[in-house]
Structure 1
Amino acid sequence: MMAKRTLEGEARDRFIQYLRNKMDEYGITFEDLAAATAAAKAVYRDAKGNEWNGIGDRPDWLQAATNAGASLDFFRISETTPTRDRPEEALFSSSFFRR
């Protein structure tokens, strides 16, 4: 995995301006960016908030869990998946140990 790089001050401001210029050049709007991000909606999530959209290689956190015997379906996000606002629901509704 590539190390995360950060920019500060004037370098950051110049880079943001560069991105805005490229967006203008290619006709990309902020709405386009939001739609592209929404297209990669997470499909799997763990209790720590790690997420994966199901595209590409399985991330390490999910591979380790499935190697340890956890079901992939346990991590699948559904309409009834508890939110971070109510984590206690995950504890009581978990199917992890009921295989």
Structure 2
Amino acid sequence: MQTRKHNVSAVIEHLEGEARERLIVWLKRRMQECNITLEALQHALQQDIDEAKRIRYRDAWGNTWTGDGEHPEWLRRAVAAGQSIDHFLCE
């Protein structure tokens, strides 16, 4: 799963010239309108990155599990139905 930071970076890097500059201006304007500082955005994006690193198992519906504690209900049901737990392992 890509984090929001990677998604934004990928979009900006893919764009060229004027389109790229317009997107950057738009993002800055929206951040100002919502009183979002660069530091707050960086903190939120880092939290997303940290969260993504902790996720070890995910199903097709977006349910996740870190691998700590008991298996969540969605994973118990899938394993009981014959699915291998390794099928849900994130790479």
Give the TM-score of the pair, scaled to structure 1.
0.41
**Higher relative contact order (CA closer than 8 Å, sequence separation 6+):** 2
TM (norm. structure 2) is: 0.44
